[in-house]
Amino acid sequence: MPKEFHVTGTCIPEKHYMVDVSGRVKRIVADYIEKGKYFTINRARQYGKTTIMYLLERQLKESYVVLSLSFESADELFTSFYTLAAGLIRRIGRELSAQGVEKAVLDKWSRPVSEGFPMEDLGERISELCRQYDGGVVLMIDEVDKSSDNQIFLSFLGLLRAKYLARESGKDDTFQSVILAGVYDIKNLKLHEGTEPKYNSPWNIAADFRIDLGFQADDIERMLSEYEADYHTGMDIRQIGRWIFEYTEGYPYMVSRMCKLLDERVAGAEAFPDKKDAWTGEGFQEAIRLFLKEPNMLFDDMVKKLQDNPDLKTMLSDILFRGTRYTFEVNNRLIDIGVMFGFVAERDNAVVVANRIFEMKLYNLFLSEEEMGSRSFCDATEMRSQFVVRGMLQMKLVLEKFCQYYGEIYGEREERFLEEDGRRLFLLYLRPIINGSGNYYVEAQTRDRTRTDVIVDYRGQRFIIELKLWRGDAYHERGERQLFGYLEHYQEDTGYLLSFDFSKRKRRGMKEIVLEGKRIVEAVV
């Protein structure tokens, strides 16, 4: 069977196109397993944890007895100490049997559990098992945080910790290494006791896991090279790889999903009859459009987390629409939650949205919540046919109509309201015009309280729109120069400047200037 891109469950090198993570696996073995460390791989949803655990298990089985478990759908284990001990003995017994251990060892491991002292019994069996195999036994547990809000689970961690400390002082035999994988950091478990949540975890023995599981542009290019060797699409591997990285920042699920969409959904569509047509700039933009529209577990989980954490939602909205700069402090609860779920990251000591895909989805989500009662959305929707002529978006006309609409509806509002919400209103106006046929994103490195650069891709057209607050003539001229630099970077001849003027001498209207051969269309509201 030919290989395919895979996004549901474990990626297997023999079956799927995937980034080569063998180097990371070897580093984990050398830096953690061989040194006898206990550690947690806690990363966001669909960040490649299960695949890393699978590949790590394959590698470790060459030298160790590996007990690979999952706490997915394992609630019954944590109803009592007895069920936990009996359930783990049963599950580990199956792992031992699958690896062909001696019958005598298996029989000794599987004898009935002590009802009076089940956890002590479990601990003694672990010691006996590990003495049988001087080469070492490694315990791996995926989805470990599924039952973490539980005192019995903490007791299990306490057992592992006690045996680890005894091993270090030469008083016991236990696992060579223990690897726990999940979203939440087991070192900082929140345990509910009564009505008050308490932070307490015996997992303070764990080593910090610092290996980056995200993909770099070079990783993606090597994966695409393998695909290209099979299909000969003629794609620009370096450029496609760079685009995928720019939009995903190497988030494993997003990388694979983009490739799968290009291979299976874009290729064969009316506008992209075969794979050669799909693996192009236009095909890539179509894949982004499909990605942002489709339901998937990653976006569903994001929406749920924002509903559960409204303060996090407010912080993200402030960053995106108002250019608010929050200093990155991981011990801040909201920032810690955002990092843990993969929504935010640190850049120049500030909190930023983790990647462009998440950012575009958040813009769409926040704006869609305002559309029902928004006159700007209704007006833009009704006028959409004026803005698209023979399939080409008329951006100058979009700005002209926005200026007219803005002056009529918001001209009498307080300056503070305008300054904070003007850019949000423009995006709300723009969204229905390009929706379904194009994409837009905000250039994160230029977004602040005074400046925002919006990049619009529409059926092969690219529009660079700089949104600025008026700060005087000199500042305005610098803005024109900045836009000129962007046009040079993107190799575009025409740029657009939307200025929000809150001075007493407002200069509303449209004008055009030519700067070193580049045309800048300016609208002032």
User: Residues 89-118: pLDDT tens digits?
Assistant: 999 999 999 999 999 999 999 999 999 999
Cα distances (Å, whole numbers) of residue 459 to 41, 390, 437:
41, 11, 7
In this predicted structure, which of 62-66, 179-183, 373-377 has the lowest mean pLDDT?
373-377
Label the pairing between strands 509-515 and 451-458: unpaired
- 3 state SS of 467: strand
Q: In what order do the strands lie in the sheet with 438-442?
A: 438-442, 451-458, 461-469, 494-500, 518-524, 509-515
| Cα separation, 188 vs 201, whole angstroms | 6
The answer to whether residue 411 scores a pLDDT higher than 80 is: no
| Cα separation, 136 vs 63, whole angstroms | 8
Residue with tokens 């650069």: 453
Burial bucket for residue 166 (CB in 10 Å: 0-12, 13-18, 19+): middle
| Cα separation, 125 vs 159, whole angstroms | 12
pLDDT band, very low/low/confident/very high, at 124 (cuts 50, 70, 90): very high
Residue type, 49: K
Cα distances (Å, whole numbers) of residue 471 to 372, 400, 519:
34, 22, 22
The answer to whether residue 357 scores a pLDDT higher than 50 is: yes
pLDDT of residue 138: 98
Residues in the chain: 525
Q: State the DSSP H helix or E strand holding residue 49, giving kind and residue range, or none if neither.
A: helix 49-60
User: Residues 398-407: pLDDT tens digits?
Assistant: 999 888 877 7
DSSP code per residue over 73-116: T-GGGGGSHHHHHHHHHHHHHHHHHHTT--HHHHHHHTSPPPSS
Would you state the structure tokens that stand for residue 163, as one six-digit string? 């045996």
Would you state the structure tokens that stand for residue 98, as one six-digit string? 């699958």
The answer to whether residue 376 scores a pLDDT higher than 70 is: no
pLDDT band, very low/low/confident/very high, at 135 (cuts 50, 70, 90): confident
Q: 190 - beta bridge partners?
A: 199
CA angle, residues 103, 108, 111, in degrees to nearest 5: 120
pLDDT of residue 428: 86
Please report, in angstroms and rounded to a whole number, the separation of the first and last CA atoms in the chain: 59
Crossing angle (nearest 10°) for helices 356-371 and 415-434: 100
| Among 155, 361, 343, CA closest to 249 | 343
User: Residues 272-317: pLDDT tens digits?
Assistant: 999 999 999 999 999 999 999 998 999 999 999 999 999 999 999 9
| Cα separation, 521 vs 501, whole angstroms | 16
Residue type, 293: K
Q: Where are the alpha helices (DSSP H) in 309-438?
A: 310-317, 333-340, 356-371, 375-382, 384-387, 395-410, 415-434
| Among 235, 499, 469, 258, CA closest to 357 | 258
The answer to whether residue 435 scores a pLDDT higher than 80 is: no
- Among 58-72, 384-398, 434-448, 495-509, top mean pLDDT goes to 58-72
Q: Answer for the pair 251, 355: CB distance below 8 angstroms, yes or no.
A: yes
pLDDT of residue 220: 98
- Among 114-123, 193-202, 381-390, 430-439, top mean pLDDT goes to 114-123
DSSP code per residue over 198-221: EE--SGGGPBP-----SPPHHHHH
User: Residues 311-354: pLDDT tens digits?
Assistant: 999 999 999 888 889 999 988 989 999 999 999 999 999 999 99
Cα distances (Å, whole numbers) of residue 326 to 108, 266, 305, 365, 419:
57, 38, 20, 21, 19
Q: Which residues, in sequence order, are CB contacts of 329 under 8 Å at separation 6+? A: 335
| Cα separation, 167 vs 153, whole angstroms | 21
Q: Answer for the pair 69, 91: CB distance below 8 angstroms, yes or no.
A: yes
Q: Answer for the pair 475, 449: CB distance below 8 angstroms, yes or no.
A: no
| Cα separation, 285 vs 297, whole angstroms | 21
Q: Which residues, in sequence order, are CB contacts of 252 under 8 Å at separation 6+? A: 19, 46, 47, 48, 51, 213, 214, 215
Q: 513 - beta bridge partners?
A: 520
Q: Mean pLDDT across the stretch 48-74?
A: 94
Q: Thinking of the domain 20-205, which architecture would CATH place it in?
A: 3-Layer(aba) Sandwich (3.40)
pLDDT band, very low/low/confident/very high, at 195 (cuts 50, 70, 90): very low
pLDDT of residue 375: 63
